Amino acid sequence: MKRPSLHPIPLDAVQLGPGVIILTMNSGQWDALLAEAYRRGHTLLELDADEKPVKAYRLCSCGICAPALN
């Protein structure tokens, strides 16, 4: 499964709390679970080898920068 271009968000924009779904991933990792979570608007948090957050992604729904995921 090929990883599409993802919409990055600042790490400080990642919010933790009840009802928030964040999936962690390795650099370059992509599978059906991550694709569906991203499509539904959940946050993907990319971790380095030391399990520290390095990047975050969330689907943008503005219609301009959101890539089509089908």
The whole-angstrom separation of Cα 66 and Cα 68 is 6
Its pTM stands at: 0.85
Confidence of residue 68 (pLDDT cuts 50, 70, 90): low
Enclosing H/E stretch for 38: helix 32-39
Strands 43-47 and 22-26: parallel
Q: Using alpha carbons, list the distances in angstroms from residue 35 to 38, 53, 60.
A: 5, 19, 14
**Per-residue pLDDT tens for 27-64?**
989 999 999 999 999 999 999 999 999 999 999 877 66
Does the structure show a pLDDT above 80 at 69? no
**pLDDT for residue 34:** 97
